[in-house]
């Protein structure tokens, strides 16, 4: 019997060629781990090329999972285990491995060709360069083909199964059951039973390899986390957006319309919603980003819950139409899953560099509401909130997500429809006293009078509107009035949202302010510092335009304000000019989320 050691948390990185199935392997490990009741966070990290040339450094695809028996907020700063399916995967990921960490290397792929593709002069598995790690050299390809030698599969098909050997071995090492993955295989490959059999065989072979061979003497166990009681599932940010939209449609009783043009990393929302025909979701894959948003504006005019999804460059293309949505005061939700920019930039990597574009990147004075999601599951609540605000105030709302939370996943104590707040929609039907731009006193929203309603025929458009009548007006005073009114309307939203809640003391030396996907690293940094008795407070901002009413007050009670962002200090700038406070920016634009240690180091520096 081999020893079983308890661990509080573990980070594993699966890395290989983009054709090696690393994302799938990582996701399987994630589902199984979630089912065991661990808290977790994941980071898929893959190249922009769909089938990058095999063996190259830029073709490496990785999937990192951090799981534990305590609450987990990040995919892990460094990994404890690196599964490297080829030399390039080893090279690219080695600096993310903790000193003394474990390497599982598929020795079969460390041949001359692959070594030279990865720019290794000598074989690192043999030259002693990895001596500070626990190196396990396993001929995974060979063992896989031996396992399947009595099957009818071609050698190519056999080779494709090798990731499951690695997965099986990891299941053994971390004491996880095989059944969830076996069930998944039976479903996934049900049309080709020979694949089901082969994959199960290889998975078990990997598991047994750990059990039987002498190579491994210990295995580890990570106890379930003490999560809040409830019903759980795992969810990625993009899935959560799709689910949130379905919920908002059901709750508001509005038909859901999505106009979208494929763009990484937002396309999965389009894919997901395209399946939900039985929810009467209408998805329209437009000819370009412009048609994607303008069709949504049309659908909104017609009375749908109208959504458009995109990423940075797409948002730039939508800018003109957003101005139209501001002018016509129609509800619209624009979801921007941010990626590395400018231009095509780093399409599969994460960044938070569209904040200023979202706030200001339009012609004229065209304020919109901007809110940001902080974790994969928070995408659900944030998109739901975006729909509520858009329809209540008759405004466009930009929701900022990012590549990291969009593709990352976590366990989610999910709600049922009855747990969600109401979204009340009142289409105007009354003829008496109807004017297209007569406003609700409280929200300043204009009536939503949709085509098909008798006696409310009216015209809207991009030309300036006369207050109340909505007729075209070139009057100078009226324009001044309307510009301010549209600004006011956005500011009014602050009266409709909860006050900001600070984590920690209400005043002190240092306040950490985060927004969007930086939440996890910030929260972890704060928790770690508290363990060292360094007490700092944390404010996470979901609402960026408008800010919650008490944000200014909170900021002013701290000596120093640290704002970590995956850009060159965009929120920091906004806080400075909005609240006249000094902020200290911690910035990074490497296409990767913050490591909590990076924030911790900055905190230490500031507390010195």
Of residues 222 through 241, those in contact with another protein by CB under 8 A are 224, 227-234
Contact present, 544 and 516 (Cβ < 8 Å):
no
Phi, psi of 181 (to 5 degrees): -70, -40
- C-beta of residue 536 within 8 angstroms of C-beta of residue 509: yes
Q: Give the C-alpha separation, 136 to 210, whole Å.
A: 11
Could you tell me if 338 and 400 are in contact, meaning their C-beta atoms sit under 8 angstroms apart?
yes
Quote the tokens at residue 410.
């976590």
- From 19, 37, 262, 508, residue interacting with another protein (rule: CB under 8 A): 37
Nearer residue to another protein within complex by CB, 252 or 401: 252
**Residues 13 to 32: which contact another protein by CB under 8 A?**
31
Q: Considering beta carbons, is residue 229 or 433 the nearer one to another protein?
A: 229
Contact with another protein (CB under 8 A): which of 135, 182, 302, 438? Answer: 302
Residues 187-226 touching another protein, rule: CB under 8 A, are: 224
Cα–Cα distance for residue pair 317/284, rounded to 1 Å: 17
As measured in angstroms, the least distance from the Cβ of 306 to another protein is: 7
Q: Give SS3 for 120.
A: coil
Tell which one of 65, 158, 185, 299 touches another protein (CB under 8 A). 299
- Give Cβ neighbours of residue 591 (< 8 Å, ≥ 6 apart): 340, 346, 349, 350, 351
d(CA 348, CA 267): 12
Contacts of 192 (CB under 8 A, 6+ apart): none
Residue 222 C-beta: closest distance to another protein, Å: 15
| Residues numbered 238-267 forming contacts with another protein, rule: CB under 8 A | 243, 246-247, 249-251, 253-255, 257, 259
Q: Name the β-bridge partners of 564.
A: 586
Stretch that binds another protein, among 134-142, 300-308, 440-448, 559-567 (CB under 8 A): 300-308
Question: Which member of 203, 321, 444, 563 binds another protein (CB under 8 A)?
Answer: 321
Question: CB 313 → another protein: shortest distance, Å?
Answer: 17
67 binds another protein (CB under 8 A): no
Residues β-bridged to residue 558? 508
- Name which of 174 and 547 has its Cβ closer to another protein: 174
| Residue 251 CB, nearest approach to another protein (Å) | 8
Return the range that interacts with another protein (CB under 8 A); candidates 42-50, 153-161, 194-202, 273-281.
273-281
Which of 205, 324, 405, 525 is in the footprint of another protein by CB under 8 A? Answer: 324
**Nearer to another protein by C-beta: 308 or 585?**
308
Find the binder of another protein among 290, 317, 483, 597 (CB under 8 A).
290
Q: Does residue 457 touch another protein according to CB under 8 A? A: yes
Which residues touch 554 (CB under 8 Å, ≥6 apart)?
500, 502, 506, 511, 539
Q: Which residues touch 321 (CB under 8 Å, ≥6 apart)? A: 290, 293, 294, 297
Query: Within 397-416, which residues bind another protein (CB under 8 A)?
Result: 413-416
Among 71, 157, 320, 440, binds another protein (CB under 8 A): 320
Q: Is 34 in the site for another protein (CB under 8 A)?
A: yes
* Residues in CB range of 535: below 8 A, 6 or more apart: 504, 505, 508, 529
* CB of 15 or CB of 281, closer to another protein: 281
Q: What is the DSSP string of 28-97?
A: HHHHHHHHTT-EEEEEEE--SSTTPPTT-STTEEEEEEEEESS---SS-SSEEEEEESSHHHHHHHGGGE
Q: Does 303 bind another protein (CB under 8 A)?
A: yes
| 3-state secondary structure at position 468 | strand
The residue (of 417 and 476) whose beta carbon lies closer to another protein is 417
Q: Which of residues 502-521 bind another protein (CB under 8 A)?
A: none
Q: What is the largest CA-CA distance in the chain?
A: 86
Closer residue to another protein, CB minimum distance, 456 or 494: 456
Token code pair at residue 494: 């602050």
User: Applying CB under 8 A, does 460 fall inside the site for another protein?
Assistant: yes
Q: How far is the CB of 330 from another protein (least distance, A)?
A: 10
User: Minimum distance from CB of 230 to another protein (Å)?
Assistant: 6
Task: Kindly state the number of chain residues that form the binding site for another protein, as judged by CB under 8 A.
Answer: 75
């Amino acid at each position: 019997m081999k020893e079983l050691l308890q661990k509080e948390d573990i980070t594993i990185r699966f890395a290989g060629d983009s054709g090696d199935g690393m994302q799938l392997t990582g996701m399987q490990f994630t589902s199984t781990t979630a089912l065991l009741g661990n808290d977790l966070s994941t980071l898929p990290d893959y190249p922009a090329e769909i089938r990058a040339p095999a063996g190259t450094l830029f073709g490496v695809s990785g999937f990192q999972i951090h799981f534990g028996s305590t609450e987990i907020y990040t995919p892990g700063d460094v990994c404890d285990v690196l599964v490297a399916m080829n030399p390039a995967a080893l090279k690219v990921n080695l600096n993310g491995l903790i000193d003394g960490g474990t390497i599982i290397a598929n020795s079969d792929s460390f041949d001359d060709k692959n070594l030279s593709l990865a720019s290794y002069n000598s074989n690192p598995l043999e030259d002693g360069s990895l001596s500070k790690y626990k190196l396990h050299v396993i001929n995974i390809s060979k063992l896989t083909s031996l396992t399947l030698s009595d099957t009818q599969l071609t050698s190519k098909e056999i080779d494709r199964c090798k990731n499951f050997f690695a997965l099986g071995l990891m299941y053994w090492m971390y004491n996880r059951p095989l059944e969830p993955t076996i069930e998944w295989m039976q479903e996934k490959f049900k049309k080709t039973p020979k694949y089901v059999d082969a994959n199960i065989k290889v998975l078990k072979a990997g598991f047994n390899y750990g059990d039987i061979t002498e190579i491994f003497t210990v295995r580890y166990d990570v106890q379930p986390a003490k999560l809040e009681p409830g019903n759980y599932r795992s969810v990625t940010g993009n899935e959560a957006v799709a689910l949130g939209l379905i919920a908002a449609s059901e709750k508001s009783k509005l038909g859901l319309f999505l106009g979208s043009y494929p763009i990484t990393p937002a396309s999965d929302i389009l894919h997901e919603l395209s399946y939900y025909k039985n929810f009467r979701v209408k998805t329209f894959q437009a000819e370009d980003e412009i048609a994607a948003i303008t069709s949504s504006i049309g659908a909104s005019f017609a009375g749908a819950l109208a959504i458009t999804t995109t990423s940075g460059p797409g948002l730039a293309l939508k800018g003109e139409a957003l101005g139209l949505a501001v002018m016509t005061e129609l509800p619209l939700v624009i979801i921007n899953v941010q990626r590395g920019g400018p231009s095509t930039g780093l399409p599969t990597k994460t960044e938070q560099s569209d904040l200023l574009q979202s706030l200001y990147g339009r012609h004229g004075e065209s304020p919109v509401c901007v809110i940001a999601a902080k974790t994969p599951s928070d995408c659900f609540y944030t998109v739901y909130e975006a729909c509520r605000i858009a329809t209540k105030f008759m405004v466009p709302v930009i929701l900022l997500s990012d590549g990291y939370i969009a593709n990352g996943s976590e366990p989610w104590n999910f709600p049922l429809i009855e747990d969600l707040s109401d979204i009340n929609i009142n289409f105007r039907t009354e003829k008496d006293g109807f004017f297209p731009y007569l406003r609700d006193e409280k929200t300043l929203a204009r009536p939503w009078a949709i085509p098909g309603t008798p006696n409310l025929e009216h015209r809207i458009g991009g030309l300036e509107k006369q207050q109340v009548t909505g007729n075209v007006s070139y009057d100078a005073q009226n324009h001044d009035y309307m510009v301010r009114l549209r600004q006011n309307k956005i500011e009014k939203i602050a009266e409709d949202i909860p006050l900001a809640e600070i984590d920690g003391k209400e005043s002190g030396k240092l306040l950490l302010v985060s927004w969007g996907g930086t939440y996890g690293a910030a929260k972890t940094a704060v928790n770690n510092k508290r363990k060292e008795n360094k007490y700092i407070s944390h404010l996470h901002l979901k609402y960026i335009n408008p800010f919650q009413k008490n944000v200014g007050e909170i900021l002013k009670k701290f000596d120093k304000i640290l704002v970590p962002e995956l850009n060159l200090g965009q929120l920091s700038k906004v806080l400075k000019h909005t609240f006249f406070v000094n902020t200290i920016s911690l910035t990074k634009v490497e296409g990767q989320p913050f490591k909590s240690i990076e924030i911790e180091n900055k905190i230490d520096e500031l507390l010195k």
